[in-house]
Structure 1
């Protein structure tokens, strides 16, 4: 039982890391999900949940809805997904109220830390499939990086906060939760809805929150099925594209830029580089620890070869 409880807590913490990242402009929840090792479970589980709900609704007239829905729900790794989602929601709300103001006050140092984190995280999708990259893979990744770099360098806008606009923006921004590269918070900043969204949470603006939640639900439901299909059928190529998107998104985390994303001359270089090095070292340490743990677990398994 203790081991089971510990596993739930561990998965909640991993989900909390993803949720926290979504409150911070520039760092993607999908990137953190890759880093903490729950990306495939999140995408696969969310995809099966969407399929289950769809089958429950569409197959009701034939009396097959509940049965076919349960078939999909059983394929979800609930031991990972449920505590991760709980941790994600709790951490997101806390981060919006507590951590985001610190990032706004110390933007340069925060961006430097996240830059180092994401830079080291590139190794995760790069090596994730276990297959060798070929020349055209690098070209594809470069194209994805160029697209991500361009998008994260676009000037900001100030969209109105009417429910229709909030719904549409939320349906796009939520996709960043599962797509490594551009963060959902960064999208909100780019369109001028980051502060209104934080204020709506603080003021319990139910109309705004309802439109945002509905848009997020619709956008995530559609996008997660696409990602699930790509990961199940084109896993290696999908990881190649994700690597490029993550690399290009480093533009959004460059510590020496203004609010309108104009690059400026470096200042306070030693301290900023120190934060960058800390972020990089944390991820490298986590990757090394995970590899050693896997190697130790593999070495401890009894050989399946027959004794001669």
Structure 2
């Protein structure tokens, strides 16, 4: 498709929104990709990375290769993600540490509205759709309530951790960083990055590439053949993740990874049972703001998720 400079600038802004979400534990960049209208194009683009690209480059030249790769889209999107990661990560971490209830309230409103947004893409609801929704919600709720596993330094395990984490990252509702915590690999990965352990980083990166390329093909197939059921499961995933980002928590167990403290176990409580200032009024205001942001992102969307003619 032909796009203008403004179109690619908009994609970069969406990438920045994805990057901002990815640096928050418990919030998925995949959710932002979906509600901003680029999720299926992202999945199609990633799944299209295969050996045929080399053949196209050899037989038709660099221009045809770049077009088949959807290179302009990739560059625009990942430029936004990288800008956000390197500029907003410190700010996001500061805000989460200083104003946790308020920031989580904003994200809760955003994710809550995204349930409505993804769900409304399903044109006709039936019994199978409802079951798929419940199954997705149950799976996400189960995953987010699992206790973290013990840390391991096995390179094969780190390869698997990288693959699973990146799969979670492109699934709306599931955080890749949270998956690393569950697998007991978060400490190893963060220490490797801090110590410039390129061997470990490289293994995790290889796992991430393998997971991304393979899982994107699975998602593409599901969207092509079972669009409505896939949308229902994704809606359930997002709904099931709400417990993870509920603003009022009682922390039961934490772990210190270098200079970063990570919560291992916590439970949701009602605002009036929260130990400390619940900041209820401002929290509600920020929830509404997060909810409203979904409508802004929807207005920026270039395309809506395509409906399949598959029977679901």
Could you tell me whether the CA contact under 8 Å between 2:155 and 2:200 is conserved in 1? yes
- The residue that corresponds to 1:23 in the other structure is 23
Which whole-Å CA distance do the structure 1 matches of 2:300 and 2:53 have between them?
Answer: 43
Which of 283, 286, 289 is 1:281 aligned to? 289
Q: Specify whether residues 78 and 65 from structure 1 end up closer, same or farther in structure 2 by C-alpha distance, changes over 3 A only.
A: closer
Tell me, yes or no, if structure 1 residue 55 matches structure 2 residue 52. yes
C-alpha distance 29-247 of structure 1, shift in aligned 2 (>3 A) = same
Q: Partners of 1:285 and 1:246 in 2: how far apart?
A: 16
Aligned to 2:118: 125
Instruction: Tell me the CA shift for residue 225 of structure 1.
Output: 0.4
TM-score (norm 1): 0.79
Q: 1:123-167 CA distances to partner (integer Å, 9 max, x unpaired)?
A: 2210124x1212331222012101111110111233123433222
Distance 2:282 2:293 in 1: 16
Shift of 1:110: 2.8
Task: State how far apart, in whole Å, the 1-side matches of 2:89 and 2:171 are.
Answer: 20
Higher helix share: 1
User: Counterpart of 2:51 in 1: which secondary structure?
Assistant: helix
1:159 and 1:193 map into 2 onto residues whose CA distance is 6
* Counterpart pick for 1:207 among 182, 185, 199: 199
Q: Show the counterpart of 1:81.
A: 74
Q: Any residues of structure 2 matched to 1:98-137 within 5 Å, and which?
A: 98-129=91-122, 131-137=123-129
Q: Give the drift of 1:18.
A: 1.0
Following superposition of structure 1 onto structure 2, how do residues 139-288 of structure 1 map, counting pairs within 5 Å? Answer: 139-255=131-247, 256-258=249-251, 259=263, 260-264=265-269, 265-268=273-276, 270-272=278-280, 274-275=282-283, 277-287=285-295
Distance 1:81 1:229, change over 3 A: same
Distance between the aligned counterparts of 2:297 and 2:14, measured in 1? Answer: 16
Structure 1 residues 190 and 77, CA, compared in 2 at 3 Å: closer, same or farther? Answer: same
Compare 184-193 and 11-20 and name the one that shifted more: 184-193
Alignment deviations for residues 70-115 of structure 1 (CA, whole Å, 9 cap, x no partner): 9886455444332002222332344444423542454333322211
Change (3 A) 1:276 1:162: farther
* Structure having the higher Rg: 1
Name structure 1 gaps, 5 residues minimum: 295-308
Runs of 5+ in structure 2 lacking a partner?
A: 252-262, 303-312
Are the aligned partners of 2:19 and 2:81 in contact in 1 as well (CA < 8 Å)? Answer: yes
- The secondary structure found in structure 2 opposite 1:261 is strand
Shift of 1:206: 1.3
SS at structure 1 position matched to 2:124 = coil
- Range that drifts further, 84-93 or 69-78: 69-78
Q: Higher strand fraction: Structure 1 or Structure 2?
A: 2
Supply the distance in 1 between the matched residues of 2:152 and 2:69 (Cα, whole angstroms).
38
The aligned counterpart of 1:5 is 5
Seen in structure 2, the aligned counterparts of structure 1 residues 55 and 286 have a Cα distance that, compared at 3 Å, is same
Q: TM-score, normalised on structure 2?
A: 0.78
Q: 1: distance between equivalents of 2:298 and 2:210?
A: 35
Q: C-alpha displacement at 1:201, in angstroms?
A: 2.9
8 A contact 2:37–2:301 mirrored in 1 = no
